[in-house]
Amino acid sequence: MFRRLLGRSKKKPEEEPSAGTESVDTSIPEVEPETIAEEEVKSTSPFSEVAAEKTPVTFTMSHAVIPHEVDIDPEKTADLARQASITPQTAAEIVPGKVLKRDAEGRVHIKIVFYGPSLSGKTTALRWLFGNIRSLSKGKIVEISDELGRTTFFDFVPVTASENMVFDVFTVAGQRRHASSRIKVLRDCDGIIFMADSTPEQMNENLASIQELRIALGTDRMATLPIVCSLNKRDLPNALPIDYMVQMLDLEGYPVFDTIATDGKNLLRMFQRVLRDSLIFKVGI
């Protein structure tokens, strides 16, 4: 009897730790090793979950962002500008009303140029303005284009604002091989509309065009001439963000309009702005 009791007492301590272990296991939830590792990364990484929520997603795969390379030859462009007689501004040119271009009838002519890469919408915008501005008297639109409809030299339309004021509106050929004729059109311009293509595939062309414009005009004319900027084709699904384009093209400080040349969105506002600024700059009114 005594031996039986002694045997039971020896087995009982061996069973108690097992029971105690089971109670502890049920009171603590199981955590997988992967979950612990993930939580540690969140707590120690500088890119926390909160920071990730505040970071805007700028691009999607549809934007197809590509490296931005500009292959404009500064020396060649500057030489073309010299051949086109684009020189630094004189003191008289800076004074409003001092140097004015007049025709045989005594009317003042102010030259506005649409500038930008090929197929960015310059001619389309000019056609829309020609067909929709009812308050201005317009002459015949002159287009010189190739079989694909791309401008090969320039497009031109005179717009009569009053008996004494005429705006000569030009677009330039945006293709690289027409650099010489394009820069010639810039000579004696009084206002510029820079039209950029909002698609990612054309960003390199936008960069090349704006760099060419800066070199051809020179620092002083870029700083004083009225220049407005059009970010065109905003209706396309892969159009680049406006802020991104302004930053990449270094357009801070210029009036920027998001436009759709095919249906005229913001074209009239943009055109009115460059006309007003060029009048103030050239005539002083």
Q: Please tell me the distance from the alpha carbon of residue 184 to that of residue 80, in angstroms, as a whole number.
A: 8
pLDDT at 264: 94
Q: How far apart are CA 52 and CA 48, in angstroms?
A: 6
For the cut 50, the answer to whether the pLDDT of residue 118 exceeds it is: yes
pLDDT mean across residues, the chain: 75
Higher pLDDT, 273 or 150: 273
User: pLDDT-derived band of residue 45, with 50, 70 and 90 as boundaries?
Assistant: very low
- pLDDT at site 261: 96
Nearest C-alpha neighbor of 185 from the set 110, 86, 94, 104: 86
Structural contact between residues 259 and 232, judged by C-beta atoms closer than 8 angstroms: yes
Report the alpha-carbon distance of residue 217 to residue 188 in Å, rounded: 10
Residue 131, pLDDT score:
81
121 vs 51: which has the higher pLDDT:
121
Q: What is the pLDDT of residues 158-175, one digit of tens each?
A: 666 667 888 888 888 867
Q: Residue 139: what residue type? A: G
Report yes or no: 70 and 208 within 8 Å, Cβ to Cβ.
Answer: yes
Position of tokens 């045989």?
Answer: 104
Look at residue 173 in the predicted model and tell me its pLDDT.
Answer: 80
Task: Report the pLDDT value the prediction gives residue 60, as an integer from 0 to 100.
Answer: 52
pLDDT at 133: 74
pLDDT of residue 76: 94
Domains and CATH numbers, the chain: 74-282 (3.40.50.300)
What pLDDT, on the 0 to 100 scale, is given for residue 168?
86
3-state DSSP helix/strand/coil % of the chain, to nearest 5: 45, 20, 35
* Statement: residue 227 has pLDDT above 90: yes
Average pLDDT for 18-38:
39
Cβ pair 108, 160 in contact under 8 A: no
Express each pLDDT in 183-212 by its tens digit: 999 999 999 999 999 999 999 999 999 999
pLDDT digits (tens, 9 = 90+) for 67-113: 556 678 999 999 999 999 999 989 898 899 999 999 888 888 899 99
Identify the pLDDT of residue 70.
64
Q: Which amino acid would we find at residue 152?
A: T
Residues 6+ apart with CB under 8 A from 226: 190, 191, 192, 274, 277, 278, 280, 281
Q: Could you tell me the pLDDT band of residue 56, with boundaries at 50, 70 and 90?
A: very low
Q: What is the largest CA-CA distance in the chain?
A: 139
What is the SS3 assignment for 163?
coil
Mind giving me the DSSP string for 209-222? HHHHHHHHHHHHHH
Q: Among residues 125, 112, 115, which one has the least CA distance to residue 168?
A: 112
CB 233 within 8 A of CB 121: yes
Which pLDDT value is given to residue 19?
A: 46
Q: Categorise residue 233: left if φ over 0, alpha if ψ from -120 to 50, beta otherwise.
A: left
Contact (CB, 8 A) for 169 and 126: yes
Answer whether 200's CB lies under 8 Å from 233's CB.
Answer: no
- Residue 129's pLDDT is 86
For residue range 126-155, list pLDDT tens digits in order: 888 888 877 555 555 554 444 444 433 345
Q: What percent of the chain is predicted at pLDDT more than 90?
A: 46
Q: Burial level of 104, CB count in 10 A (0-12/13-18/19+)? A: exposed
For residue 103, the one-letter residue type is D
Instruction: Please report the pLDDT score of residue 265 as a whole number.
Output: 96
